[in-house]
Chains A and B, each alone.
Chain A
């Protein structure tokens, strides 16, 4: 059944007619063209579809779009600067060569946004736990952790809690 919902995606208000059986990942990809949100396992294990819902990282494949009524959704597309610049988190991923095939990257970036947003300092083991909801089949995670460490340290120097 089609249902009209109102939600904010990357700062922009949308009124959408969606199927009430639809997962948020499909709405974002197919209705809004936000293809940074990747469809991987579709059962909440691989983390490729991770987006922020009201600031919290969630697997959008196991989130019904009708639940997003009135909520704030953020995807990687929402990170770009006024002139299309990459965010510091994305730059850290590039600097540390944390991207290979790139399929897991947008999800990991969104988790990084949540982690960095706490303003706390985390050691490598804590970061390992915090990214455990993402599967990467290329990098072996080392460079991803390097990028995470870099951005967490850089942020901590500025806003440190």
Chain B
């Protein structure tokens, strides 16, 4: 038995928004793999829940006519990894969420919950940053679109208002077409682990595949929120694939991040990971984009 004050099972999105507006203390629960554990641990003990678990309109992945990929937020991690659209167009996201927890957790945990928790270590977040995902929030006054770069306010804090529900995650074609991506999660174990550091790189090469046309360098746990290294990204534009490029990316990232020491790892170790994983992720992303490293 969970220590829950009350639970309301919303029938659809407007019902969930209404229930949240009426209960200023209620917590949204979707898959439950974070919220139920926090109740068990005592952090959320005695809370009121608004469940969006079984709302069908919040699940699934589709592609619009203009090539925009729409991921509905209550889609489970395993459904993302096994989805044909994801496998074909943004395999890096499927790979990233395939590193969350365990197979059972990936069958229940949702990408929307991963993002709405606001934690910097979320395995999906850095890749969604690299893909310039746009989040759709639905509240009492209709919907609004928030680029993921503007979604996080601080550790565990997002711009989502209390009565708002995340209703869509969209990735437009210009943010995945022609790109190759790679995500590296660093943890002490290969499963049931929270990232000590996560790095996601998305790269588009010039038509001759010898230089960088567009680079996105994103990190989790390199700062209080997931982040992009935009200065480094601009600095390496049009650079040839070369040892200098990798050096510049690794060193450039160091100047932009702000990791902290925690019981998982020291700041110094995280800085070393940031430099090294940035290079490694970029190398694999270049290969995934059709390039070669000895070009």
Contacts and interface: CB of A to CB of B under 8 A. Distances in A.
B23 interface: no
B143 interface: no
Interface in B1-53: 1-4, 6-7, 9, 32-33, 36-37, 40-41, 51, 53
Interface residues of A, number: 32
A57 B104 contact: yes
B51 A129 contact: no
The residue in A20, A23, A69, A134 that gathers the most chain B C-beta atoms within 10 A of its C-beta is A20
B192 A64 contact: no
A23 B108 CA distance: 14
B192 A67 contact: no
Interface stretch (A44-52, A72-80, A81-89, A93-101): A44-52
Nearest to A64: B32
Nearest to A1: B6
A148 interface: no
Main secondary structure of the interface of B (DSSP, over half): mixed
B78 interface: yes
Interface string A28-60: 000000000000001111010010010011110
Nearest to B6: A1
B172 interface: no
A99 B190 CA distance: 24
Contacts of B33: 44, 62
A1 B4 CA distance: 11
A58 B54 CA distance: 15
Nearest to B32: A62
Contact of A133 (B4, B32, B41, B105): B105
B191 A133 contact: yes
B1 A23 contact: yes
Nearest to A128: B190
B156 interface: no
A62 B101 contact: no
B103 interface: yes
A14 interface: no
B107 interface: yes
Nearest to A132: B191
A155 interface: no
A61 to B, nearest CB: 8
B7 A45 contact: no
A130 B81 CA distance: 14
A59 B102 CA distance: 10
A63 B2 contact: no
B4 to A, nearest CB: 5
A62 B37 contact: yes
A43 B37 contact: yes
Contacts of A109: none
Interface in B91-114: 101-105, 107-108
B104 A58 contact: yes
A63 B190 CA distance: 24
Contacts of B105: 44, 59, 133
Contact of B103 (A22, A57, A63, A64): A57
B107 A58 contact: yes
Given A44-B101, A50-B104, A132-B103, 13 more contacts: A21-B2, A21-B3, A21-B4, A22-B2, A23-B1, A26-B1, A43-B41, A58-B108, A64-B32, A67-B53, A67-B54, A111-B103, A129-B103
The list of the 3 closest CB pairs from A to B, nearest first, reads: A133-B102, A132-B191, A133-B104
Interface of B: 1-4, 6-7, 9, 32-33, 36-37, 40-41, 51, 53-54, 78, 101-105, 107-108, 190-192
Interface of A: 1, 19-23, 26, 42-45, 47, 50, 53, 56-59, 62-64, 66-67, 69, 111, 114, 129-134
